[in-house]
Each structure stands twice: as structure tokens, then as C-alpha cells.
Amino acid sequence: MIHVRGLTRSFGAVEAVRGVDVDVSEGEIVGFVGPNGAGKTTTLRMLTTLLRPTAGTAVVAGHDLFTDPAGVRRRIGYVSQNGTVGPFSEVGEELRLQARMYGMSRAEARERVSRLLSELDLEEAGTKLYAHLSGGQKRRVDIAMGLLHSPALLFLDEPTTGLDPQSRANLWDHVRRLREEAGMTVFLTTHYLEEADALCDRVLIIDHGRIVGSGTPAELKAAHGASTLDEVFLTVTGRELREGAAA
Amino acid sequence: MTALAALTGYYLRSAFKSKFAVVFGAVQPLFYLVLFGPLLARSGVGSWDTFVPGVLVQLGLMSSGLVGFGIVFDQRFGVLERLRVTPVARFTLLLGRVLKDAVMLLVQAGAVVVIGYGFGLRAPLAGVLLGLLLITVLSVGLASLSYAAALTIKPELFPALVSTAVIPLMLLSGALLPMSLAPTWLDVVSRFTPFRYAVEALRSLFAGSYASSVVLWGSLVTLGFVAVGCVVGTRVFQRENT
């Protein structure tokens, strides 16, 4: 689903991502873990066609990132960490607009949006303003924005940051269901290692723009003689993730 | 096509939902029309037929020229990015907004003309309709450039910078008083601003002379301006990671 070699991006003299290789198979849930500033979001923005890589090759969802970005966009969903709807906009109307960006007719958009809202336990949210939703509901609306066209591959950037533990667990359930019911491949970034452990089949650890570790949570723990991913992270990068996140 | 229709409809609904925004965008030119127009008409320097065209260009600058302010919020709340990750062409994302702005300007300009007739405008209907077409086309270029500026300038500076920049552009266009009164240096400077040609073309249309060289030049300069505006606007919309 994702085949990337040597993906690189510099901003001026700063190399934010330095030659990243990523392979993700169909139906996998893969977590991309690292402190803030490690290059997670930059990598994600490249894979979703929002940023042009400086070097490397990439095939995403069957389309070449460089020669066919529109083909990539048709088959992926992307949920950024910054929200998707203005505070005083009506959620249902925004979702229907987004659906029409994928070529759906007005009737198809209406039908698709109401089905998606009910799948994500957001039945009452459709007629509400975004600002009037809870944090967990807002995140689910953001995710709905990325699901309208039933993408084969979904990118989630820090989907649970700022959520309470209950909303977080609820969101994990929704992500798992996407894979089970729709066979969707999910690529998500997080700086919660327990999230990566609980939700992801495979974890990639990125630090200073390079992949410094990868494997299933169990493999990573076994390889480093660790009992948690936090310990793995400490061994691999020489520091605590939380520390890195706060810095 | 689906996407363009959906975007334009969406933006129009949002714009007209708040009637305040439609009126507010035109409020400064309306002040000039109502509180300054009568003085000018009696001064012997100008008439309603020369003043209303000026107000229309002023309206274009003040209404379409400032639309970029709205996109700053879309950018901040992630709306722009969410649209940019769909297969819709960047140009379409820009065009949907700009078409809304053109419709909005046409409504506002129509109101200015109606009020103008109330005061004593005598322009022939054909000339007025052609004038409205010209000013609507001009607004497409203005709106595109406004969005480009809003996505380029620091958001906190945009309102101050752009609302300041439109004042000399408006004065240099001869919108308030004809540039035939200007000293040579001012006349020369004014010839470097595109809006002067639009004002003169509108005045000629309102005077009922449709085939004049002034109309030709006004139309050519306006079309050139719109082409530049759309190219710059599309470039900025295509730019990554704004």
C-alpha cells in the first residue's frame, strides 16, 4: 500500500526528513512514532501530496507520488492534527461539501454523510456547529472528512492528542473497525507509545528525520529486552519520548 | 464540474447567509455615493454619470480587494488543507471562491447603480449593463490577487496592509475626481495603475459611447489584469504547505 525509498525533505538548509524507507502492506495499522520535530508530520504531508519531497521514490495506494499526485489523492484519506472545520460551520454541510469534492452528486453526498455519521456515533452532530461538539466528537468528524470516499488508505496525524482516556479508547475502536469491516490500511502518527502498543500491528520509530527502529510492538520489545515501548524508545533514541515531546 | 458547482454554491450560501457581510462590503463606497456624490454633482466638476462609475471601481477595490481576509480563517482551521488533499484541481478551489466574489460584487454594484439612478444618474441601460459586466470581470482579478496576498502575507498584517493599499489605488484611478484635473506628475503616476483605465472605460460606457478607444483600452487592461490575477492566484494555491 505504501512503498517508499529514500524519502527526503529539506527546508532551506534544514533536513527535516533524511532518507526514510517505509513499506506498508494492505490492511495493516502502522504507527509512526517519534518526538515532536522528528519528522513525523513532514513525512505524512509528503505521503499525502501536500509537500513535495526533495528526493526519493514513493508509490502510495498504487499511484506514483511524483507523477500522479491526483491518483494518490483519489485513493487516500488524510486527517491532519489541526482540525478540518471552522468553529461556526455546520458539520453536516461541511461533510457534504467534502463528499462532493470526490465527485458525488448532491443526493449521494447526503446519503453517504448520514451513513458515515451514524457509523461514527455522530448522529446528532450533523446539524450542530463544530464549536459545539466535544473533543472526541470533533476528532471523529475530522476522521469522517477523510473517509467520505471510502479510501483504501487512511492517514491520521496524531488522532488522539488532547483526548481523555475514554475518548481515546473509543477512537481506537473506530480505527480497528475500519480495518475489520472495510479492510482499510491505516497509517497514523502518535507520540503516545501505549497507543502504538495497543492499536498498531507495526511501529516505525523516527528520530532526527531517520527511521531508527521498526517491527511489531512485541518484536521491538523482545529485541531490546524491554517490557514497554517506552523502554524501547529510550534505548533506541537515548531519551524519553515525553521529554522529547515537551521540548 | 461537480466540485466547482458545489464550492461556488457553498460559498454563496455562506456569504448570503450573513446579509451583514453583503452590505458591509459595500458600505464605504455607499458612504461616498450618498455623502460625497451630491457635493460633486453640484460642484460643476463632475456629474452622477461620471461619479457612479468611480464608485463602482471603488467598490471593486474595497469589496473584492479585501475578500482574502476570509481565507485566513479557512487556513487556520484546516479547511483549506482538507480541500487540498482531495483530487479537485487547485485552480478549481480558487475559482469556486472567486465566482462567489464576482456574484457578490454584481449584487452590490447593482445596488449602487439603483441608488445612483435615484440621485440623478442618467446613463443608458445598455451602457450600465456593459459597465456592470466590466466591473464584475475586474472583480475576478481583484479577488484572486486578494487571496494570493492573504496566503502570502502574515495573517495579522493582511487587513492593515491591504486596506491601506487600496486607498492610493482608488485615488489614483480617478474614481473620485477625473484625472483630467490632475497635475502632470499625478496624471503620469495614475497611468501606471490598472484601475484608471477601468474608470475611464466605465465613464465612457455610462456616457453611451460604446465603441470608443477608452472602452477598448479599459477592457484590454482589465482582461490583462484578470489574467495576471488568476495566474498569480493559482500559483499561490498550488504552492505547498502554506
Residue of chain A whose Cα is closest to the Cα of B73: A86
Task: Give this prediction's pTM.
Answer: 0.88
Helix residue spans in chain A (DSSP H):
40-47, 69-75, 91-101, 106-119, 135-147, 165-182, 193-199, 217-223, 229-237, 241-246
Task: Give the residue, B126 or A230, on which the prediction is more confident.
Answer: B126
Has residue B72 got a pLDDT over 50? Answer: yes
Residue of chain A whose Cα is closest to the Cα of B3: A101
Interface check for A129 against chain B (CB to CB < 8 A): the answer is no
Residues of B in contact with A105 (CB under 8 A): 2
Helix residue spans in chain B (DSSP H):
2-17, 19-24, 27-31, 37-43, 48-63, 68-76, 79-84, 90-119, 125-152, 158-172, 184-190, 194-206, 213-238
* Per-residue confidence (pLDDT) for residue A242, from 0 to 100: 58
% of chain A with per-residue pLDDT over 90? 53
Give the whole-angstrom CA distance, residue B79 versus residue B85: 10
Nearest Cα residue to B176 out of B39, B65, B63, B67: B39
* Per-residue confidence (pLDDT) for residue A127, from 0 to 100: 94
State the count of interchain CB pairs (< 8 A) between A and B. 68
Lowest mean pLDDT among A71-75, A166-170, B97-101: A166-170
ipTM comes to 0.87
Q: Determine the distance from the C-alpha atom of residue A83 to the mean position of all C-alpha atoms in its chain, rounded to a whole number.
A: 13
Has residue A243 got a pLDDT over 60? Answer: no
Has residue B23 got a pLDDT over 90? Answer: no
The amino acid at residue A44 is L
Grid cell of B74 as nine digits: 479557512
Has residue A219 got a pLDDT over 90? Answer: no
| CA angle A6–A25–A62, rounded 5-degree value | 70
- Average of pLDDT values for B51-68? 94
> Contacts by B129-134 with C-beta closer than 8 Å and gap 24+?
B130/B205, B130/B210, B131/B53, B131/B56, B131/B202, B131/B205, B131/B206, B132/B56, B132/B106, B134/B198, B134/B201, B134/B202, B134/B205, B134/B218, B134/B219, B134/B222
Please state, rounded to an integer, the average pLDDT across all residues of chain B: 92
Number of domains in chain B: 1
> Which residue range(s) make up the domain with B84?
2-238
Give the whole-angstrom CA distance, residue A102 versus residue A109: 9
The 10s digit of each residue's pLDDT in B152-203 is 998 889 989 998 999 999 999 999 988 989 999 999 999 999 999 999 999 9
Has residue A244 got a pLDDT over 80? Answer: no
Lowest mean pLDDT among A134-143, A222-231, B77-86: A222-231
Interface check for A112 against chain B (CB to CB < 8 A): the answer is no
| Rg, chain A, Cα only | 18
Q: Identify the structural domains of chain A with CATH numbers, from first to last.
A: 2-84+150-246 (3.40.50.300)
Give the whole-angstrom CA distance, residue A91 versus residue A87: 9
State the DSSP code for A129: B
